[in-house]
Structure 1
Amino acid sequence: MLFSLDASNNHLSGKIPRWIWKFPHLQVLDLSRNKFSGSLPLGFITSQIREVYLSRNLLGGTLTKGDGAHNDYSSYPLNVLDLSHNQIKGTIPRWISILPRLNYLLLNNNEFYGEIPIPFTLEQVKLIVISHNHFSGQLSSVLTSNISTVSYNGYITKDLELVTKTNLYTYKGKPLDSLSGFDFSNNNFSGEIPPQISYKDDMKFLNLSNNQLKGSIPPSFSRLLQIESLDLSHNNLSGTIPSELAALTFLGSFSVAYNNLSGKCPQAAQFATYGDDDYGGSFIDMESFYASSGVSFVMVLLIIASVLYINPYWRGVWFYLRQDHHH
């Protein structure tokens, strides 16, 4: 009986043959890093498969054809779905978000668009990477909280790649609890950052950069005590960086650049290690701003006074303009 099929890292091309999904006991399928093209066939998620790795191919088409109406995906055991780095288009199908054991979802670097039809449950999902697409809508509609959900406790048997600001992580054969995070960057999400993200206190990374998010940074992010990478750059966030974030002692990568933030940086050792690029174009110390503005104003007055005192011609022009203004 065939439980696992690994044909990754080859030069296989053409459409994925349908016979692959006819193995009745196939649980793990890895066809990543090939040159497969065309659309995925209907029924590529079977009632027994647990892990599907199809990343870094030339797959196109959509995932919504048929939309799984003929299958009861609420009973399917799929745990890992990696379709990243392809050319898949269209909206995200409803059946993806109702898979009861889906812990790892990678759809990044495709051509998806539109809103997420059903929110993902924070207690269930470990990893969602949907960056570099064209998703839109309120970020608060992407995630929900349901304490009754029980996640599948197993192991990652194949490679999962995750790129943060400073590192490339490859996870293989690791317990599911060793990796947790969300990457929604480089999309068109709007609205405020939902505070319920902080309920996921085992999160290792969070990337919301390059969207259209507004509002403030939730102080409840201080609950993310295991977080190592936090990127909120290139949005429309305002307000201050919450002082509560000083509690994030494992934070090794942090950026809020290119927002409309004000105030001072949290007084903590880890924040002292970040450079200007992490705050640039975004972070304004209002006290320094007012002070520098006052100094600049005084300097302009001094320069004008010096020019008028030294140069008789411009002094004459100045007095002429003043007289004309009064008349």
Structure 2
Amino acid sequence: MIEVYLSRNQLEGTITKGDHWNLSSHNEYPSYSLSVLDLSHNHLSGTIPKWISILPRLSYLLLNNNEFYGEIPIPFTLEQVKLIVISHNHFSGQLSSVLTSIISTVSYNGYITKDLELVTKTNLYTYKGKPLNSLSGFDFSNNNFSSEIPPQISYKDGMQFLNLSNNKLKGSIPSSFSRLLQIESLDLSQNNLSGTIPSELSSLTFLGSFSVAYNNLSGKCPQVAQFATYRDDDDGGSFIDMESFYASSGVSFVMVLLTIASVLYINPYWRRVWFYYVRITITSCYYFVVDHLPVPVKYKVLELRV
């Protein structure tokens, strides 16, 4: 198997034809076909060449954090794909024709020799070796996809994370997502999704990170299983424990006040400076209010002062 790692360089321009790479055609020696292609975090642009979309042995494709644009080439028929990360680009078009053509149950038997950086559960992790071999998922976030979410994606065997956030996806959340029994992280936030959160998703017992914030969802979050830990939001926003938020904000506010009071008590110089600026501020506010009051009221205030 051939692995190509060119992440975090200063590469620019477009990806050349597959013939120049000498990687796309190995019919006589299929075991030497390209299995890992990592071009992430560069300045590459243009569209994805069609030869990439039909590589027979490609399992890991990382094109994230570049300047690619346009639609994903069709057919996108990767036979052994386990992980595709194309986030933070300018891709557009339909997801249905892409995601439904990369459903596969074939596992990768190789051993990844280099580190791959992936964002899962909203955090950046580095994977390598056996842990990476068992990881499967798609990250299409931060692009311009505008179609509905294809229900067929739920037939991707062993998927552990799916990130479709920060796109323009519309329609409802497919209830067929309940088939993703191994899913651990599901992010559909910042789209144009509508409808309710399917109650069938409560069967996803491994789901540890779930976000549908900033959509047009309605109804209540399923109050069963792990979903009971999320809080309902009338605007279909993120599920935040508001009680904990208010409590932590109150504690922080009190700590700030206590810190200021302690500093003023210990340091006489800062105490004098503090009271000086408080007096100046109060005086400035007083004259600002007086100068902007209606004329009769202003005179009345002045008379009272006399």
Same fold (TM over 0.5): yes
Residue equivalent to 1:73 = 24
> Kindly tell me: are residues 264 and 147 of structure 1, through their superposed partners in 2, closer, same or farther at Cα, counting changes over 3 Å?
closer
Indicate the SS of the match to 2:193. strand
CA offsets 1:234-284 (integer angstroms, 9 cap, x no match): 1111111100000011111111011111111112231122357xx585259
SS in 1 for 2:194: strand
Corresponding residue for residue 57 of structure 1? 9
1:264 aligns with 2:215: no
8 A contact 2:136–2:159 mirrored in 1? yes
1:282 to 224, 233, 236: 236
Distance 2:229 2:104 in 1: 40
Compared CA separation, residues 68 and 266, structure 1 to 2 (3 A): farther
Compare 135-144 and 236-245 and name the one that shifted more: 135-144
Cα contact 1:243–1:266 (8 A) shared by 2: yes
The alpha-carbon deviation at position 123 of structure 1 amounts to: 5.6
Give the aligned residue type for 2:87. Answer: S
Paired residue total: 233
SS of equivalent residue, structure 1 residue 58 = coil
**Letter matched to residue 190 of structure 2:** H
What corresponds to 1:187 in structure 2? 143
Partner of 2:292: none
Q: Distance in 2 between matches of 1:51 and 1:70?
A: 12
Residue 216 in structure 1 maps to residue 172 in structure 2 = yes
| Aligned residues of 1:52 and 1:81 also touching (Cα < 8 A) | yes
Q: Distance in 1 between matches of 2:104 and 2:10?
A: 38
Name the Cα RMSD after superposition: 2.5
Q: Name the counterpart of 1:154.
A: 110
Change in Cα spacing, 1:258 to 1:281, as seen in structure 2 (3 Å) is farther
Distance in 2 between residues matched to 1:219 and 1:148, nearest whole Å = 20
Show CA shifts across 1:115-147 (max 9, x none). 011244476210000000000000112123478
Question: 1:235 is matched with which residue?
Answer: 191
Q: Which amino acid aligns with 2:24?
A: Y
Higher strand share: 1
Kept after mapping to 2: 8 A contact 1:122/1:200: no
> What does residue 81 of structure 2 align with?
125
Question: In percent, how many aligned pairs have the same letter?
Answer: 83
User: TM-score, normalised on structure 2?
Assistant: 0.70
- Residues 1:86 and 2:38 are matched in the alignment: no
**How far apart, CA to CA, are the structure 2 residues paired with 1:272 and 1:122?**
38
Choose 1 or 2 for highest CA Rg.
2
Structure 2 unaligned spans of 5+: 27-31, 239-306
1:247 to 180, 203, 218: 203
Distance 1:57 1:71 in 2: 21
- 8 Å CA contact 1:155, 1:175 repeated in 2: no
Separation in 2, partners of 1:258, 1:107: 26
Normalized per residue, which structure has more helix? 2
